[in-house]
Amino acid sequence: MQHSEFVHLHVHSEYSLLDGAAQLEKLVARAKELRFPAIALTDHGNLFGGIDFYLAAQKAGIKPILGCELYVAPGGRRERGSHEGGYEGANHLTVLARNGAGYRNLIKLVSRAYLEGFYYKPRVDRELLAEHADGLLVLSGCLNSEVSRLLSAGDALRARAAAGWHQEVFGREHYFMEVQAHGLEEQVKVTAETLKIARAIGAPVVGTNDSHYLEAGHARAHEALLCIQTGTTLNDPARFRFSTGEFSVKSAEEMARVFAELPEACRNTLAAAERCNLTLDFGTFHLPRYRAPEGHTLDSYLQELARAGLRRRYGPSVGDALEARLAHELAVIEKMGFAGYFLVVWDFIQYARRQGIAVGPGRGSSAGSLVAYCLEITSVDPIRYGLLFERFLNPERISMPDMDIDFADDRRDEVIHYVAERYGRDRVAHIITFGTLGAKAAIRDVGRVLGMPYADVDRIAKLVPNFPLNITLDEAYQKSLPLAETVKGQPHVKELWDIARALEGCTRHASVHASAVVISDEPLDEHIPLYKDPKRPELITGYAMGPIEKLGLLKMDFLGLRTLTVLANTVALIREARGVVIDLDALPLDDARTYELLAEARTFGVFQLESSGMRDALRGLKPERLEDLIAIVSLYRPGPMDLIPDFIARKHGRSKITYEHPAMEKFTRETYGIMVYQEQIMQIASEMAGFTMGEADTLRRAMGKKDRDLMATQRAKFVAGCAERGIGDAKAEHVWELMEKFAGYGFNKSHAAAYALVAYETAYLKANYPVEFMAALLTSEMGDTDKIVKYIEECRAMGIRIQPPDVNVSAVQFSVVADTIRFGLAAIKNVGEAAMASILRTRGEAGSFTTLEDFCARVDLRLVNRRVLESLIKAGAFDSLGLPRAHLLATADGALESGQRAQRDRAEGQASFFELLPAAARRADSPSVEVVPEWDEDQRLAFEKDVLGFYISGHPLARFRGVVDALGVTTTGDLGAKGHGARVTLFGHATGLKETQTKSGNRMAFFTLEDMDGTAEVTVFPEPFKSAAPLLRSREAVLVRGRVDDGEKGRVILAEDVRPLEQALAESSGRPRAGAPAGEPNACRIRITPGDEPGAALTTVRQVCDGHPGRVPVFLHILLGSHEVVVRVRAFSVDGSRDLVTKGEAMLGAGAISVEYAGRA
């Protein structure tokens, strides 16, 4: 192929974030289409896309030139805040790597720009350029370069001096004067002066196009991208913009026309490209260096540890099979050079265990390694559960091992810190990741940039199907007829669509991977560029995970798993409350209570098993062994989920099991003839066709990736192998087809086994130590109000009492006191760590608080201020003092004042006469104060909600529980089972009401509906809002009818009707009644505890009922000790009104009276 006579040396990709619109694959394809022999990548200030670009260009047969458009501080890189040192004064400089030395220096420059010179942008300075000049080829830069800016300012002398400095530093042959021609008047002036400098210093001239997008037709899309970056719109006259549409990847012919009067500018691009010959090394591993003890190599030390672990795990007599398996694994690890890798992982896991940091039993394929099990890296027995080492390390496919480790989420960072300290802070970093513009995000961003109304853009975005995940705009256009018709029928939508398609898939922003960390044998900037987010403290790589692994660096996932924190906290609570020490690694795996809990699907809070669909599966499956859990964890995913009914039927003998071959029976018996795991495919291929396990793993990968060519080869090999073992072609072909079918969704058994074990441990603790488990679970979810509400309800269903926070009993977190869960002080808003520490320290030193005054006199009032005290009172934390919360709040200021006086006196060495009295005498001597009556229930609960985020001593909707059943209400807890578009009826309180006005001037609203299970977001459009507005503003309980809408911002309910409960009940029963909740009240139940004065209690009941005569029968529930006696009252009946309930609760107590309804749904 004849190459073009031009090379683009100044090119921006999508990694010039929200500035470059050229995606890497398309950029390389464009270069190939235009027959360029080479192409450079020079993104702004970074090398983010470098490796992917390098590999893509090589694959396309084009020489890749790695470079960067650096920002250079005119002064020093560490200067901040001045024009000279600041971002506005940063000059651009085009720098290319000529060879390996240049690439390493470019890495250093980019890294130090972020780590040392970041000020709005990553900046280098002349000092760094001089220090890292070797191996670089430099172009003088665009209009924003130092030379060009000086020329624009008319200072040709200093411009020449600047060019001369660069030429001297980088070498005469490696410094080019850069000229550009985009039709800008300023460029014409600067180019003329640049050519004079070039002649004067003897520097070659090179022409570039500063490309920011692929084709001229993408200029409009690029303008939109700039608006996304700057938060402006295309019709904003003050927005940042490129002055012309000439910044594309032009052909050699176009560039020849651009520089028709300066042909050497094009020829010199070829000369510059010829000088850039970078070859990257992708075949060397750079593992951190573990230091083995003296007298050991890495391999011998690993062998010693593993053999000792083998006997610790299996006993002194392990047998030949185990010895052989261990020897095989150790030989493979030694051959592949990964002993150091295993020792590094073993070391930091041992550290975690020594520090009491919970470690998961394994994750991914590493649980298949016996060596890992013997080193206590994993906790799942690979022999017992038939897990395969080759699924983890395949000796026939050399690749970096991948061990992902779970740690308790609240202590994960301690382990990462240990690794950084052990191997060097400059050798450990978090890994960068990039967000891209997906289909819907592209529509929404472009719609905003075009100035379209939000509602219109939202409607268009919602026409894009939600499935499959990561659907493209082109796929959406084919799948959604309404979308296609909208695009074709409306010109402004067509414009949006065209721009969105051009920008779809572009990298939008950089962030930090949630768990991935890289560990190197040398300082990381010897191998990769580094990045620093100014808002985060940690070191971050400048390459994403894929490039890092390709360069042979060790990537590990340090994952924070909240369930491990729950398990650790549960074990601690059990030890504290019961004196029982639980070893999670030694739990019995046949515990009857645990399997009873699983069979009954009482799995709220149980790892992996708490969704409604999973609970349904558990009820059918009725697990009896860990293998059942491993299978259900594997099957409960899109695709294989369809097999669950058949799997359950086979387990319980309701469906016949047949096996095509003895190997099928041998390896699928535990899953009732269904291939659930990838490992089963490997084992069957090995048994039937003689594949080695390494070959079987290659087969598995081919099937999983649907690699047609490789699968055809493997199929022939499988059939031939079967034939050698006397298996006919027809049988072999049939088994192959079964394997191919199941391989599409077969799961990694090693990973499933590890997670099933965590699920079992969680279920075991819930079944055997429910109070401690639920306390730990509540602590783990303290920041999630909806989950706290759900788990409090679960506690009540389990018969576990939950008591409010108490300054005399509570710890910081949820605690267990005599089979009761006590709220922690940390659950109360406005009570910070310092205030809690003061309360707990004071209580620990001098005992419980006796009065509010005593509390204020003893705690540090600099930390426990008025706001803290008010929150404690509203939360019920002083209820044990025996006074109404209303009274305590009314007297809080006085208590604070007396406390401050007492503390002042103590500070001055004076003890008041009052303080010298014994506590009992002080209480007797306190002036008599009239007790302020308690708030009504609604107010008390509202205050609880305000400071706790939820209700604890009751719920304002509890009285309606029986009533709303008649209306077929869906709770917020059940919404997850409803699909998009489903019609639902919800009942609860409207909170957070936000009213707004549509473009046409109509009022509409958004609010959060709260019921006893959680919350749901509700949108009320103008028509229903007309009648609903007064009701929503009143904060009364409301009934909402509408439909589920799954939009870009999550699930909302689109309300079609909002009305008060009384109205809905009246309409439901067909018998509207005035003044009372309508709907066939058929029983009034009153609960009393007679105590020492039964007559007084009954008199109160009669007073309540006499004021509300009617036809509803009354039932008394009399609590006598642990027994309840129910008596039908014949002497009177009541009207069942809401007023009856309100007044009854005021006289008898919250929850003492309820009315049951038998309305028709």
**Cα separations (Å) of 916 from 408, 856, 908, 913?**
49, 17, 16, 5
Sheet strands side by side (includes 815-817): 801-803, 820-822, 815-817
Which pLDDT does position 1084 carry in this prediction? 86
d(C-alpha 703, C-alpha 740), whole Å: 6
520, 411: one domain: yes
Higher pLDDT pick, 918 / 104: 104
SS3 annotation, 1020-1087: ECHHHHHHHHHHHHHCCEEEEEEEEEEECCEEEEEEEEEEEHHHHHHHHHCCCCCCCCCCCEEEEEEE
Confidence at 927, pLDDT banded by 50, 70, 90: low
Q: 3-state class of 988 per DSSP? A: strand
Which pLDDT does position 1121 carry in this prediction? 56
Question: Is position 658 within any domain?
Answer: yes
> CATH no. for residue 817?
1.10.150
How far the first Cα of the chain sits from its last, in Å, is 77
**Cα separations (Å) of 764 from 521, 567, 735?**
42, 10, 39
Question: Is position 88 within any domain?
Answer: yes
Between the CA atoms of 967, 968, 972 and 976, what dihedral angle is there, to the nearest 10 degrees? -160
Least confident of 33-47, 184-198, 702-716, 1092-1106: 1092-1106
Q: How far is CA 546 from the centre of its chain?
A: 20
Which pLDDT does position 495 carry in this prediction? 96
Higher pLDDT pick, 291 / 1146: 291
75, 188: one domain: yes
Beta-carbon contacts of 517 under 8 Å, excluding residues fewer than 6 positions away, are: 416, 419, 428, 429, 430, 431, 555, 556, 557, 558
For residues 37 and 6, is the Cβ–Cβ distance under 8 A?
A: no
**Cα separations (Å) of 517 from 334, 544, 667?**
24, 11, 37
Torsion 743-746-751-754 (CA) sign = negative
d(C-alpha 1094, C-alpha 1080), whole Å: 31
Least confident of 64-73, 962-971, 1109-1118: 962-971
Q: DSSP string of 14-52?
A: TTSTTT----HHHHHHHHHHTT-SEEEEEEES--TTHHH
Last residue of a domain, one of 1069, 1098, 1121: 1069
Looking only at the bridges linking them, the beta strands covering 1081-1088 and 123-124 are: unpaired
556, 617: one domain: no
Amino acid identity for residue 817 in this structure: V
Closest by CA to 170, choosing from 144, 148, 141, 192, is: 141
Q: 3-state class of 853 per DSSP? A: helix
d(C-alpha 590, C-alpha 575), whole Å: 23
Task: Please report where in the chains the tokens 């009295």 appear, as a residue.
Answer: 917
Question: Is position 286 within any domain?
Answer: no
Least confident of 622-636, 991-1005, 1058-1072: 1058-1072
Which pLDDT does position 467 carry in this prediction? 81
Torsion 925-927-930-935 (CA) sign = negative
| Mean pLDDT, residues 115-141 taken together | 97
Last residue of a domain, one of 718, 733, 764: 764
The DSSP call for residue 522 is S
> CATH no. for residue 453?
1.10.10.1600
920, 809: one domain: yes
Rounded-to-5 percentages of helix, strand, coil across the chain? 50, 15, 35
- Quick one: tokens of 773? 């488990």
pLDDT score of 932 more than 60: yes
Residue 343 belongs to domain spanning: 298-433+512-562
270, 178: one domain: yes
Confidence at 925, pLDDT banded by 50, 70, 90: very low
d(C-alpha 815, C-alpha 824), whole Å: 7
Q: For helices 678-689 and 693-705, give the axis angle rounded to 10 degrees.
A: 130
What digits encode the pLDDT tens for the residues 231-287?
999 999 989 999 899 999 999 999 999 999 999 999 999 999 999 999 999 989 999
Strands (E), 340-441: 404-408, 428-436
**Cα separations (Å) of 247 from 94, 178, 513?**
16, 15, 33
371, 484: one domain: no
398, 547: one domain: yes
Confidence at 397, pLDDT banded by 50, 70, 90: confident
For residues 615 and 601, is the Cβ–Cβ distance under 8 A?
A: yes
For residues 155 and 147, is the Cβ–Cβ distance under 8 A?
A: no
Radius of gyration of the chain from its Cα atoms, rounded to whole angstroms: 36
Question: Is position 7 within any domain?
Answer: no
Confidence at 513, pLDDT banded by 50, 70, 90: very high
d(C-alpha 461, C-alpha 1049), whole Å: 11
Considering the entire predicted model, what is its pTM?
Answer: 0.83
Count CA atoms within 13 Å of residue 990 on its CB side.
28
Last residue of a domain, one of 504, 531, 547: 504
Beta-carbon contacts of 1030 under 8 Å, excluding residues fewer than 6 positions away, are: none
1046, 1030: one domain: yes
Confidence at 754, pLDDT banded by 50, 70, 90: very high
Confidence at 221, pLDDT banded by 50, 70, 90: very high
Closest by CA to 477, choosing from 446, 444, 500, is: 500
d(C-alpha 323, C-alpha 310), whole Å: 8
Task: Return mean pLDDT, the chain.
Answer: 91
Question: Is position 283 within any domain?
Answer: no
Q: Which residues of 462-482 are buried (b: 16+ CB within 10 A; e: fewer)?
A: bbbeeeeeebbbeebbeebee
Confidence at 466, pLDDT banded by 50, 70, 90: confident
- Quick one: tokens of 608? 């992996």
Higher pLDDT pick, 1080 / 384: 384
| Mean pLDDT, residues 531-557 taken together | 94
> CATH no. for residue 119?
3.20.20.140
Closest by CA to 546, choosing from 36, 992, 976, 24, is: 24
User: What is the percent of the chain with per-residue pLDDT over 70, rounded to a whole number?
Assistant: 94
| Mean pLDDT, residues 118-144 taken together | 97
Which pLDDT does position 741 carry in this prediction? 86
Question: Is position 291 within any domain?
Answer: no
Which pLDDT does position 235 carry in this prediction? 93
d(C-alpha 438, C-alpha 469), whole Å: 10
pLDDT score of 789 more than 90: no
Closest by CA to 31, choosing from 48, 15, 9, 52, is: 9
Beta-carbon contacts of 954 under 8 Å, excluding residues fewer than 6 positions away, are: 937, 941, 1150, 1151
d(C-alpha 74, C-alpha 82), whole Å: 11
Question: Is position 570 within any domain?
Answer: no
Cis preceding-peptide flag for 468 (omega within 30 of 0): yes
Strand partners, 1126: 1117
974, 940: one domain: no
Which pLDDT does position 1077 carry in this prediction? 38
Between the CA atoms of 888, 893, 898 and 899, what dihedral angle is there, to the nearest 10 degrees? 80
49, 82: one domain: yes
Count of domains forming the chain: 7
Task: Please report where in the chains the tokens 């070191």 appear, as a residue.
Answer: 539
pLDDT score of 534 more than 90: no
The DSSP call for residue 799 is T
Which pLDDT does position 638 carry in this prediction? 85
Torsion 447-451-456-458 (CA) sign = positive
pLDDT score of 752 more than 70: yes
Higher pLDDT pick, 1012 / 382: 382
> CATH no. for residue 1050?
2.40.50.140
Beta-carbon contacts of 941 under 8 Å, excluding residues fewer than 6 positions away, are: 951, 953, 954, 955, 956
- Quick one: tokens of 542? 């400048």
d(C-alpha 763, C-alpha 959), whole Å: 33
Confidence at 678, pLDDT banded by 50, 70, 90: very high
Closest by CA to 747, choosing from 657, 636, 664, 843, is: 636
Largest interatomic CA distance in the chain: 117
Confidence at 782, pLDDT banded by 50, 70, 90: confident
| Mean pLDDT, residues 808-823 taken together | 93
Task: Please report where in the chains the tokens 């869906």 appear, as a residue.
Answer: 970
549, 634: one domain: no
What digits encode the pLDDT tens for the residues 90-115?
999 999 999 999 999 999 999 999 99
Question: Is position 569 within any domain?
Answer: no
What digits encode the pLDDT tens for the residues 630-675?
999 999 998 899 999 999 999 999 999 999 899 999 999 999 999 9
| Mean pLDDT, residues 977-981 taken together | 85
Tally of CB atoms within 10 A around 688:
24
Which pLDDT does position 1036 carry in this prediction? 80
Which pLDDT does position 592 carry in this prediction? 98
Looking only at the bridges linking them, the beta strands covering 815-817 and 530-531 are: unpaired
200, 243: one domain: yes
